[in-house]
Amino acid sequence: MCGLIGYIGNRPAQPILIDCLRRLEYRGYDSCGLALLGDGIQVYKDQGKVAELQRGLSLNNERTGIGHTRWATHGRPSGINAHPHLDCAGQIALVHNGIVTNFLRLRQQLTQEGHIFSSETDTEVIVHLIEKYYRGDLAEAVATALGQIEGSYAIIALQTGPKKLVVARNESPLLIGLGDGENFAASDAAAILDYTDRVVYLEDGDIGVITDREITIANNGHEVSRQVQQVPWTQEEAQKTGYEHFMLKEIHEQPRVIQNTLRGYLSAIEPVAPEIAANGDIAQVLLLGCGTSYHAALVGKYLLEKLAKVAVRAELASEFNYHDTLLSKTWAIGITQSGETADTLMALRKAKSLGCKTLVITNVVGSSATRIADEAFYIKAGPEISVAATKSFIAQLVAFYLLALAWARIDTSSRERLMAELRLLPNKVQQLLDGQDDIAELGEYLSRYDNAFFIGRGINLPVALEGALKLKEISYIHAEGCAAGELKHGSFALLNPHTPVVAIGAQDNTYDTLLTNIKEIKTRGTPVIALAAEGDREIDKLVDHVIWIPGTTPLLSPVVNSVALQLLAYYAARKRGYPIDQPRNLAKSVTVE
């Protein structure tokens, strides 16, 4: 969940490391630091932001170094707990992402052997283990030390003496960037796009040695070759380009994202993925995701059951990993924007071990999920910097529409009508964005409250869950998503004039019942904001405020409704003055359990 960067080359490392750490700030962090290798190792680290770290630095021309942004797991945010960590002699420095699950036992053992610990972190045991096993070859010491480690890791280490970096990964993302007379190591390609777009993604068990001229990679003691890939994004795509926040920029990119995800698929629906619905030996589909991706899975469940006529289970990946389940004749589909979400990766591995065929819907070529799953569906959302997922969620929804169409058991005319509506989606979303001023006013209105409910029915119930998640994660307003029919079963006790309800309407078979639910809410004196299709004059009579949504077929309504709720949350948070792109305590890529 943190950011790693390493540099070795022909330029001063310090400004490059600082620049790369800034590129990694979007992942979320509470402290940061760097180590520079000269005659010795100089370490600079502290609690707080990269800008604060930079202000404390003096001019330094060393050309090898490592850096880190930390999201605390073991030990409070502090300068002592920030990375890099050093061995007792100050000869080895290390940065680490992941979790060492057996660190308490290792720490006790190392303490008894005379190692002195200065931090509360699990990471520090790794550098002391490397020190313990060092016999003149840093890569060998790293390999031996990691043999003692249980858990996940991506590490970059350096030592006094030879100018080189040693890297290793297990269940935590790490890549090597290839430059001209310089090389990089990073947890995320976004960190190094100003310097190179040629990368090598490391695989579990890989240990690499990086100099300014070459890289070597070994796995299980044997040298291996990993494919050089080109990152399909530019650094310009990861800039705000005039927008106040990345989140607003990414919301406005959604018409193009929808087009990019549709392009190449609508004209050739069948090759998108294996035909599940037509395959008689497939009994069910299992959808696995966390957070926003889980909400996309819930929409996907509705679509696949309705169009493909196949039984679908949608499960939280974090829960699926810890209960017994019987799976047979099942396709397991993991949904993860980064392709590195730890719980989802674990769930995909478990599904494979149970005999499932696997597919991943992801945004990142070369990510861990694409190497685990049998097949990959790339959503083509481009780099998403804001912690709150927006365009990746919409692209995930579009992916499910395409998959459902690929496996649909519907007549040709119905299929063609739905495909035609899909092609109109970018324009519908653009219409909504062009009229966002009214949503901005309602966002400012909503910002006055401390609690809110979001309700929906049918295919828009997941949209209610996602709308509540967006509001609470960036505006810090407590929000709950709820099935409209479930409010009466307990939550009505919380309704009052100070707890607004956002009701998501759609012109489908749930519409009349939703109107009844709204009437029940209004009798409690609760203000209601409704999302309604343009031209709907029934709902307008019942509620306090309406967000008018460009009309589309009810099956596609989650897309435009979700965009409206993203804007609502954004403007509520903006009015409250909170750090929208980097909300407190959250990280973009959740690479720990």
Active-site positions read: 2, 588
Residue position matching structure tokens 């960037």: 177
State the DSSP string of 91-113: -EEEEEEEEETTHHHHHHHHHHT
Encoded tokens for 48? 């707080």
The β-bridge partners of 85 are 94
Does residue 551 contact residue 534 with C-beta atoms inside 8 Å?
A: yes
Q: In a 10 Å sphere around its CB, with 0-12 CB exposed, 13-18 middle and 19+ buried, how is residue 147 labelled?
A: exposed
Does residue 150 contact residue 178 with C-beta atoms inside 8 Å?
A: no
Angle between helices 391-406 and 412-434 (to 10 degrees): 170
Does residue 272 contact residue 298 with C-beta atoms inside 8 Å?
A: no
Does residue 110 contact residue 129 with C-beta atoms inside 8 Å?
A: yes
Encoded tokens for 151? 């858990």
CA atoms within 13 A on the CB side of 126: 33
Does residue 299 contact residue 459 with C-beta atoms inside 8 Å?
A: yes
Encoded tokens for 430? 């653009």
Nearest of 2, 7, 78 to residue 36 by alpha carbon:
7
Nearest of 91, 83, 100, 109 to residue 146 by alpha carbon:
100
Radius of gyration of the chain (CA): 25
At a CB cut-off of 8 Å and minimum separation 6, what does 212 contact? 8, 9, 10, 63, 163, 181, 182, 183
| Neighbour-count burial for 9-42, b at 16+ CB within 10 Å, e otherwise | beebbbebbbbbbbbbbbbbbbbbbbbbbeeebb
Q: Is 442 left (phi over 0), alpha (psi -120 to 50) or beta?
A: alpha
At a CB cut-off of 8 Å and minimum separation 6, what does 241 contact? 249
Q: In a 10 Å sphere around its CB, with 0-12 CB exposed, 13-18 middle and 19+ buried, how is residue 500 labelled?
A: buried
First to last CA, the chain: 10
At a CB cut-off of 8 Å and minimum separation 6, what does 345 contact? 171, 334, 336, 368, 369, 372
- At position 443, the amino acid (one-letter code) is G
Degrees, nearest 5: CA angle 89-94-100: 110
